[in-house]
A and B are shown apart, each in its own frame.
Chain A
Amino acid sequence: MLQLLYACIVEQHDLRLVGLAAFVCLFACFTATNLLAGAQGSSGKRRDLWHAAAALVFGVGVWTTHFIAELAYRPGIPVGYDIELTILSIAVAVVLSWIGMWIVLSLRVRHIGGAVVGLAVGAMHYIGVAALRAPADLIWDPVMVAISVVTGAAMAAAAMEVLSPKPRLGNLVGATVLLVLAIVGLHFIGMAALTLRLDPAIDMPREMLAPELLAIAVAAGTALIITLGLAGAFVDNRLAQRAIEENERLQRRIEERTAELRQVQDELVRNERLSVLGQLTATIAHELRNPLSAIGNTIYAVRQRVEMQGLDLDRPLGRIERSVSRCERIINDLIDFTQMRAIEPKPVAINAWLAALLDALQVDVRIERRFSARDPIVDIDRERMRRVIVNLLENAVHAMSEPLPDNRQPCIAIGARSQGGRVEITVEDNGRGIPADVLPKVFEPLFSTKSFGTGLGLPTVKQIIEQHAGTIAITTSSATGTRVTLRLPIAQAKEMAA
């Protein structure tokens, strides 16, 4: 049979047209498979559209392939084609394909559906052959006909099985190849089943399609398949793209909303805690300040009397006084942090203000001033911002309280300059730096590395800076020390000449 097939294809066909038929067939099958996969992946109207397009492409594809191959068939006699049967063949191909695919899509019996698709190929083929008009008798070999139909149905059934409900590229290619085999196998076995016996007595009908016209019809069919295939791919791409974009948009939206919610919740929890803590601290502060005041007053009175009597109790009394001061300091820190009162910002020329503040403070370390020539105006609550600077200075001094490596002399540099609509205030020491494990915790309330620290210094500083719509950043290294950078918005970009 193979030899028969070979002889049939090589001896009786124009091989260039056979090649074209194979190409159209391959293209139609791949497009139809893709469209069918699209139908499987969608629902409602869209699914109906994909389904119809798949059936149309496949039906027309089979038909086109058949007739290109038939044009390639050169039996050596004049041939023509019956118009009605030719049209019927394409209609049957499309409708049967549609039914087969419907069985696949809706009844989900893939092999039966596939077999019906194969029958569509067979029906198309034999109606198409029946449309052939030539001065000859058509003699059929029924066994070969049966083999051809079974081959088509089996291959198409296999194709539908391979095209799984959620196909990957491999499934698509496999199904395509099997569909091509269904068409090609059926066609050539079917043609081998046919023998034409010349009979010049048979009249050629008048109304029939000349091969040239058939070629045009075939070209139109091919164009339709390609157009639908491209349109399908394009729509498919667009839909996929849009789905991805929509997904990403939703994802972003969800992330944004989640972040917002988390922030609001954090703020609520924080405010709630601060409010409770604030009331508690205020009460405790008041209750402690009374006895502290009584102790302080009493020490003062005792000191007076002791001195009158010439007793030397200076050291123990000093100890009590220092301890009282420490308690007072702790209370003040706690209140500072928990009583988040609203700030009262007023425009301040920052260099002049810093200079005056530094003049008034007594710091045991050399302070270098690095102010820019122009003095930017910043809206600040002077009392609160004073707290910030004093706190940062205390930290700097503390960082340099022990002898420094390389014999370097303790030095604090305070800088102020405007930088892109903001004022940058830096407090820089050349101390030992902040260890890497400590750095992430410095803004945590109650965290302290000092033996007498409350761990509220930097949290309070941060709180005050944030109330001023500013930011605080710390860079540190054991080699060069620590630099704290405060950035505050400039008041309407006003600046004063120094």
Chain B
Amino acid sequence: MSLQILIVDDDRDHAESVGDILSMRGHEIDIAGSGEAGVAKFGAGRFDVVLMDVKMPGMNGVEAFFAIRQIKPNAQVVMMTGFSLEELVEKAMANGAIGTLRKPLAIAQLLQTIETLSKAA
């Protein structure tokens, strides 16, 4: 089924490139350019999934993740990171983030993650 997906990434081109792929699969996409904007949009809307970049100026992805879980404790958040190893990401994973996608994204993995969530929804 079609999902409402929020992509939070300070790199607008990257966010849109991910959005393109997912909207072609019939999902509804919204984009936020910062952690703060992401949390605000999440609070205002009804999103099934959040794709969250980690390294952003201001509120980073993990802080935004915790803020979103405050709003909705079972929010489905997938982290996206360009770093090979990151303690921050591990912290999010340990606290209920449902997956980590490494950049450059392996598109098969991205689609599979969304597919699984879509079936569960």
Contact = CB atoms under 8 A, between A and B. Distances in A.
Give the dominant DSSP class at A's interface: helix
B116 interface: no
B20 A291 contact: no
B35 to A, nearest CB: 16
Given A285-B82, A286-B83, A301-B24, A292 B17 contact: no
A300 B14 contact: no
A287 B53 CA distance: 13
B104 to A, nearest CB: 4
Nearest to B23: A301
Interface string B1-16: 0000000000101101
Given A290-B14, A297-B14, A301-B17, A324 B104 contact: yes
B112 interface: no
Given A289-B104, A301-B21, A328-B104, A294 B85 contact: no
B82 A298 contact: no
A292 B105 CA distance: 9
Interface string A279-291: 0001001110111
Contacts of B105: 293, 296-297
B74 interface: no
Interface string A298-321: 101100110000000000000000
A286 B82 contact: yes
B81 to A, nearest CB: 8
Contacts of A292: 103-104
A304 B104 contact: no
A291 B24 contact: no
A341 interface: yes
Contact of A293 (B55, B82, B85): B82
Contacts of A295: 17, 104
B104 A296 contact: yes
A339 interface: yes
A335 interface: yes
B7 to A, nearest CB: 11
A290 B107 CA distance: 14
Contact of B17 (A289, A294, A304, A328): A294
Nearest to B13: A294
B24 A290 contact: no
B18 interface: yes
Nearest to A341: B85
A294 B11 contact: yes
A293 B24 contact: no
Contact of A297 (B17, B55, B83): B17
A144 B20 CA distance: 130
Interface centre among B20, B103, B105 (most CB of A within 10 A): B103
A297 B82 contact: no
A38 to B, nearest CB: 72
Contacts of A297: 14, 17-18, 20-21, 104-105, 107
Nearest to B54: A286
Given A286-B55, A298-B20, A304-B24, A293 B104 contact: yes
Contacts of B16: 294
A294 B80 CA distance: 12
A107 B84 CA distance: 82
A273 to B, nearest CB: 20
A290 B82 contact: yes
Interface in A433-455: none
B21 A300 contact: yes
Interface in A131-149: none
Interface centre among A300, A304, A332, A339 (most CB of B within 10 A): A300
A381 to B, nearest CB: 13
Contacts of B20: 297-298, 301
A298 B15 CA distance: 11
Contacts of B21: 297, 300-301, 304
B113 to A, nearest CB: 14
16 contacts: A285-B83, A286-B83, A290-B14, A290-B82, A292-B103, A292-B104, A293-B14, A293-B17, A293-B105, A294-B13, A296-B17, A297-B105, A324-B104, A328-B104, A339-B84, A339-B85
Interface pairs A-B: 6 shortest CB-CB:
A297-B17, A289-B82, A293-B104, A293-B103, A286-B82, A301-B20
Given A293-B17, A294-B16, A341-B85, 16 more contacts: A285-B82, A286-B83, A291-B13, A291-B14, A292-B104, A294-B13, A294-B14, A295-B104, A296-B107, A297-B14, A297-B20, A297-B105, A297-B107, A300-B107, A324-B104, A335-B84
